[in-house]
Amino acid sequence: MAFTYFLRDLPTLELAVKHLLPYTSGRSTVRVWDAGCAMGQEPYSLAIVFAESMGYFGFKTVQILATDLDNSDLFGPIIREGVYPAEELQRVPEALLKKYFRPATQPNSYQVVETLRSRISFRKHDLLSFQPAGREFHLIVCKNVLLHFNAEERTKVLRMFHGALAPGGILATEQTQKMPPELAPLFEQAAMEAQVFRKNGGPA
């Protein structure tokens, strides 16, 4: 996936977190899977949304697993270091830039603060294995990935996401990804203005 700048499609990320938090209040851990994370701009954008929504102490309960096929073996080191060119942060408001980034030693670059970096881990994972990267996730974000699959593959991946979500967990996909009719019994649309769905089956 080509996720090339921070805070891309911010409204969808904000809606996903908004609909998730009432169901995870009081939990010791909030488990998140960002599937198809590329070089980390999306999981870090998601971490910023969580931190802004939950505050410092609440955010400490969030664990974000970022996965991608990563044939280059570059994504993991980039995400762990958290250093990005300034041009990728052009859409980050000045207040958030000062709060969550520091000038890096590399020219014209910034490093994500440790508070965010400590909440994100990276693992290589192939969505077309149709095996989840874990279980009992409260939120799964998969954006700008499913469009590269055929209809049968998309349905299998979405069904796999359903199995990986905790009851009542949230799934967020790109705006162009409609839920296949055969999966309608598995999810309900949580936000009508975005492709944000809740797994049927009670609170997360």
- Average pLDDT for residues 26-32, to the nearest whole number? 94
What is the reported pLDDT for 26?
86
Q: In angstroms, rounded to a whole number, what is the distance separating the alpha carbons of residues 46 and 2?
A: 16
Does 204 reside within a domain?
Answer: no
Does 73 reside within a domain?
Answer: yes
Q: Assess contact for 47 and 115: CB atoms under 8 A.
A: no
Q: What is the per-residue pLDDT across 123-174, written as a single tens digit (0 to 9) for each? A: 999 999 999 999 999 999 999 999 999 999 999 999 999 999 999 999 999 9
What is the reported pLDDT for 1?
46
Q: What is the per-residue pLDDT across 52-87, written as a single tens digit (0 to 9) for each? A: 999 988 999 999 999 999 988 999 999 999 999 999
Q: 3-class SS at 23?
A: helix
Does 2 reside within a domain?
Answer: no
Does 1 reside within a domain?
Answer: no
Length of the chain: 204
Does 4 reside within a domain?
Answer: no
CA R_g for the chain: 16
Q: Assess contact for 133 and 123: CB atoms under 8 A.
A: yes
Among residues of the chain, what percentage have pLDDT more than 70?
96
Q: Assess contact for 159 and 171: CB atoms under 8 A.
A: no
Does 81 reside within a domain?
Answer: yes
What is the reported pLDDT for 4?
67
pLDDT category of residue 202 using cuts at 50, 70 and 90: low
Q: How many domains does the chain have?
A: 1
What is the reported pLDDT for 203?
57
CATH number of the CATH domain containing 193: 3.40.50.150
Distance of CA 182 to the CA centre of its chain: 25
pTM across the whole model: 0.95
Query: Which of 27, 39, 32, 38 is closest to 13 using CA atoms?
Result: 32
Q: In angstroms, rounded to a whole number, what is the distance separating the alpha carbons of residues 138 and 164?
A: 9
Query: Which residues span the domain enclosing 61?
Result: 10-199
Does 5 reside within a domain?
Answer: no
Among residues of the chain, what percentage have pLDDT more than 90?
89
- Average pLDDT for residues 15-37, to the nearest whole number? 95
Mean of all residue pLDDT scores within the chain: 94
Does 102 reside within a domain?
Answer: yes
Which residues, 6 or more positions from 142, have their beta carbon under 8 angstroms from its beta carbon? 34, 35, 36, 127, 157, 161, 171, 172, 173
What is the reported pLDDT for 17?
98
